[in-house]
A and B are shown apart, each in its own frame.
Chain A
Amino acid sequence: MRVIMRIPEKKEFTFSGPKKVREILRELKMNPEATLVIKGNTLLTLDDVVEDGEEIEVRSAISGG
């Protein structure tokens, strides 16, 4: 699966699936309280499973300034 991040900088990761969103966030060291996982035009919860060949975006919800 492809995992895309746009902020703070553009990054891309590859994981092998199936994998729970909770696991993906843990490996990326992202705090679920400050993060959204986007698939298409909807959101995934921590228990959702992402399969091989799928693409998700992990987006930090925190902004500053």
Chain B
Amino acid sequence: MRLCKVCKAKAVIELPQHNTAFCREHFLAYFENQVRRAIQDFRMFTTEDRILVAVSGGKDSLVLWEVLLRLGYRADGLYIDLGIGDYSAASREKAEAFAAARGATLRIVSLKEQYDVTVPELARSLRRPACSGCGLAKRYLFNLEAEKGEYDVLATGHNLDDEAATLFGNVLHWNLEALRRQSPVLEAENGFRRKVKPLIRLTERETAAYAILTGIDYIVEECPHAVGARSHLYKELLNQLELHSPGAKRQFLLGFYERGRAAIEGATERPEVRPCKVCGQPTVAEVCSFCRMMQRVGVDEVRLMTAAGVE
């Protein structure tokens, strides 16, 4: 029987990458400590800052919100209703129930209500994969809502596996611009809010374990569009590697943050950012890619301006 490294009680989880195992209580302490460390090491925010957490109803974002509240941070949630059938309905319920049980503030934006279009409709009219329009809409609305609510920081639940898979993809294609932008902290600039990823020191398995052990009711079923995603394949490959050499994922990602990024920083040019002519949100083009996408599916300019709070 595996025993907890700290108290020698029966362990509920083993962590081969740290060559250790923990009981429930000490695993939760370890987990929260890793989040605290990421926040401090990368100077993500302080207890003064107002934080907006992007909440999908999945394990990572709910766990992030839970830990931030437990650690005493001022964190509200933002749920974006993408209109993806049963998946959106079920995940929204999870997010709402979580907030209600803790008396936390959850802001909700509905793509359908605000723009009269859903992610599946976007995909159909644009003949593009659902995830490309969806990702664009989420990034845009997250920044917009943070601005409206005057939040200091945007936090997402990206974990070590998410980031390692993204890094793997970026390296595979030597996408230097994406590598430069891949960071646990993106400073506020030119109308973009500060963005942080406090779960980067924790694996997806650890996040799921935290949710189960604290009784967080998250949506286990995946978005129907996630099936066959490239990131799945990368995660599987990295987990194969991890099985044979525990700690490899961590080294790959944290090593990049500590040493790799700095080397790339100077090697890429920063594009010039200015306000979108329609909605005023930051962009490198005349009209931002969100507004262009929405105009292509027939959303008119007035609606885009109104939704963005532009007169």
Query: Which bucket holds chain B's interface residue count?
Result: 35 or more
Segment among B10-18, B28-36, B47-55, B193-201 that sits at the interface with chain A? B10-18
B209, A36: Cβ atoms under 8 Å?
yes
Q: How many Å lie between the Cα of A16 and that of B236 in the bound state?
A: 29
On chain A, the residues within 8 Å of B12 by CB distance are 42-45
Number of A residues whose C-beta is below 8 Å from B? 24
Interface of A is mostly: loop
Most buried by A among B14, B208, B240: B208
B2, A34: Cβ atoms under 8 Å?
no
Given A47-B1, A63-B58, A63-B226, the answer on whether A41 and B215 have CB atoms closer than 8 Å is yes
Mark out the residues of chain A between 7 and 65 whose CB falls within 8 Å of any chain B CB in the assembled complex: 7-8, 31-36, 38, 41-48, 59, 61-65
A65, B223: Cβ atoms under 8 Å?
yes
B232, A43: Cβ atoms under 8 Å?
no
Question: What residues make up the interface of B, taking CB atoms closer than 8 Å to A?
Answer: 1-2, 11-14, 16, 21, 24, 58-60, 131, 161, 203-205, 207-209, 212-213, 215, 220-223, 225-227, 229, 231-232, 235-236, 239-240, 242-243
22 sampled A-B residue pairs with Cβ under 8 A:
A6-B221, A7-B222, A8-B222, A31-B239, A31-B243, A33-B16, A36-B205, A41-B213, A45-B11, A45-B13, A47-B1, A47-B2, A48-B1, A59-B220, A61-B203, A61-B205, A62-B236, A62-B239, A63-B222, A65-B222, A65-B223, A65-B229
